[in-house]
Copies of this chain bind each other. A is one copy, B any other.
């Protein structure tokens, strides 16, 4: 059984959303599973790398506003535009809580949050929105709302994010294939060839 591809994600990133869909096609072609691992741009990028939020960066901000929907059209994936940035902590904590018991359920939850926010336009910033979405997967909404307020779950997410920093992750989507790291939806073709050839 070949190792799973590690997919590092942050719910707030539209490129993360696009990558979460794109990597499934590539992974399936090579009989690989995809394992989701959380990162937080607010920690990995802003605090550790010391960069500014992209949506406040001159020149880059207007480019990204145009590139995101264009990349979605290029990939054939639906996407909506939001006026405000997604606040990722409620959903990220819920993911960390679910992942400890059932990585498969956590991944389906992650896909549902991405789809609700980025394909269907329902803002997933609040605990209630996240719990409502989780309920559609049979997850106990009250248990989720209670769990994400506990120090145990908050610390679990912090640990996972620290793991991502130690793995060298600074952006999303990041894909790690047999220890080799690729950053960006635009690296999916390279990931595909890496899997096909065993590395180059």
A57 at the interface (CB under 8 A from B): yes
A181→B63 contact, CB < 8 A = yes
Q: Give residues 43-99 of A contacting B (CB, 8 Å).
A: 44, 48-52, 57-60, 62-63, 66-67, 70-71, 73-74
A95 to B169: give the CA distance in the assembly, Å: 37
Copy count, this protein chain: 2
- How many chain A residues sit at the interface, stated as a range, is 20 to 34
Q: Is A48 within 8 A of B59, CB to CB? A: yes
Contacting pair A58 B50 (CB below 8 A)? yes
Main secondary structure of the interface of A (DSSP, over half): helix
A110 to chain B, nearest CB (A): 23
| Supplied contacts A48-B59, A63-B170, 19 more A-B pairs, CB within 8 Å | A48-B58, A49-B59, A50-B52, A50-B57, A50-B58, A51-B52, A59-B168, A60-B170, A62-B168, A63-B181, A66-B181, A67-B183, A70-B200, A71-B190, A73-B200, A74-B190, A74-B193, A186-B186, A186-B187
- Can you name 6 A-B pairs with beta carbons within 8 Å? A51-B57, A59-B168, A62-B168, A74-B200, A186-B186, A189-B189
